[in-house]
Amino acid sequence: DMLGGENGQEAQEEGAEKQAWAFLEQLDEMEEVILLSKFHEKKGNYDQLVELDSRFHEILFEGCQSKLLERELKNLHQYVQRVRKTSLESGQRAEKSTQEHENIMLAIRDKDPDRADELATRHVMNTISNIRNCQIETIMEDETKWKK
């Protein structure tokens, strides 16, 4: 043990305890974001929903504990943010997205990484599908305007 016997073990245990508390704080914040999202979703406050959606993803990225992965995910997220408001305003996507976030958070809280991964992948695929549908609807609307 490079840190020297009991002192090294104590330091490791203290580090693990700090990490556990940080994890619990992240779960609490995720839960708060989900509750606020449900409230704003019912009110149709899409600007607030976009902000809360972004914060949910930031919490996930911060929790991955890899600075490289966190940076890359944030870069991808910035790209997706450009179309997020349109996506959340369309159909029932806001409600579905909030429910997907809640399911991901519950899987994390239950310490079920396989389920969390499966749910996160499904969430990304649903978001991509919805964005594509929004783009097609916009193209169709533009064509209709030009034909008049």
pLDDT band at 1 (very low <50, low <70, confident <90, very high): very low
Residues 27-48 have a mean pLDDT of 93
Q: Are 100 and 123 in contact (CB under 8 A)?
A: yes
Contact 53, 88 (CB under 8 A): yes
Sheet strands (E) in the chain: none
Q: Label residue 83 exposed, middle or buried (CB < 10 Å: 0-12, 13-18, 19+).
A: middle
Q: What is the DSSP letter of 90?
A: S
C-alpha 145: how far from chain center: 36
Quote the pLDDT of residue 37: 95
Which pLDDT belongs to residue 119? Answer: 95
**Higher per-residue pLDDT: 144 or 58:** 58
- Confidence bin at 11 (pLDDT 50/70/90): low
124-147 confidence digits (pLDDT tens): 898 888 878 877 666 666 566 666
CA torsion 121-114-107-82 (nearest 10°) is -20
